[in-house]
Structure 1
């Protein structure tokens, strides 16, 4: 295919992340000849695109649609159960397949459904949001939320392929693009400083899906995640660095009952993590200021109500990354050098939070 980028994810279950234009028109290559039935999991906003994809695939497969709620409302056990019901009533076997067509929440759900049906069926992820492309759909993390927190139920399950059709971004609202850029900024700070330089040079071009700058920062982000998850699929070590900004970010999402966009919450979480690194003595004031400047240039939030601290702390203490009751935070020694801060004193955490609290 012309102008197509293939980024390999290696490890026990290797697969490719394929980035380019018009790729949804060739999904048969990834589905393969053994598949007989396909379930397309999609949100309402992608109903027309899902119908078109179904019509395309009907020449080769039996194809069923599962429309699920938008955003985090999709990541509930009741929605997963609905997908299982569709698969059960249409006699899906272990050689059939699930396609996740949508943003990060949709791909998280679709992955969980594929991982759990008959202990695992073929999965093709087709992310259609910035966050889905650079984060959720790559790496094999699947999951749903519970009343107690985000992604507390899930599994690690590698897809057969991740197909990134850049044409699906054409109608993405501007605020969705900017929210997704929080994950791209994260990749810049933890390991790909070129991303930060590109955004600083021209935020508008960097966030315009039609420009080479946009594609460059997306591919740098995907390549970084691919390298990390290839080395550490089940988050036993290196993969933790991808959680930069996520411990507080997930707590904010939970406090807001998932009405905040993921990227907005992670943006605040990154500023908090930067302040935590500075107060712990590992990060310079200049790098903390750079966090605020870059995120603000993308109109992402960098503060949160000071009075919500106790609620956020309680949620962070239940975070899936905690070990033996000890909270763990990813902080930076400098740009591109993340490290783990384990079991910090609560007074240190509150001091950092005061820097983002309003």
Structure 2
């Protein structure tokens, strides 16, 4: 958990990879492994702030996991990983292979879910979505801000850090919703009436976040901040072919219907920094100079998408009726 006395609206981006070693592994909840990593060279990790995540390089994949330890102690960092039965190899590998002493390669920390300054916060977590909230809660606490957490899960055995949070902050501020006992999160009570000077931070399964978005339609613009586990479904754009113009050279690259912009420009010999290739990490964000975008990522806010000043080239495409996008590449 964090020990910051201030919150910040300036995300920190650090991209270098480094070797790390697992120095502790604990059981956080049913199916959740809580891991502590230390730099392989014994040095400190780069600085991070509440909401940050690391890239964990697993065989054939890169996965993103929120940091749930204190930014004030850069000698180690903690992540908590849910064993997903539908895993494409990331969480299954972590649970099977990452034992104490295992050496891994990580990237970051990087922050696409930064905690903006506010007088009040409402944190909403579903399942393993609690992980980025740990740092945010203590940052808000140390800054003297008003906050509450609503945390839902199947039962208390599956809700990582639930007892620790309840013991530390009490039931007035930590509202637990184990659905088998109490029912699901009461979003109507939490979000039905917009609250002045309050920001809402939510992380969890798609169904929960979609419902939170619906309830927050009447809240002030910018009040809701969401971190998703996966990119949202494609919008009303095109899956057809289009061109991208690379403004720095004037070169045009064709993007076939079955290829991403990232694939196409890499095939053309243009290097773009990327990581997840699934629209969730924000690494491949590129400024858009002209053209309409069909945003398919899970990083940009609704306001960011409306401006279309940038896009995630690993998943997003040209919008319907747009034959050419001009990118700052």
TM-score (norm 2): 0.32
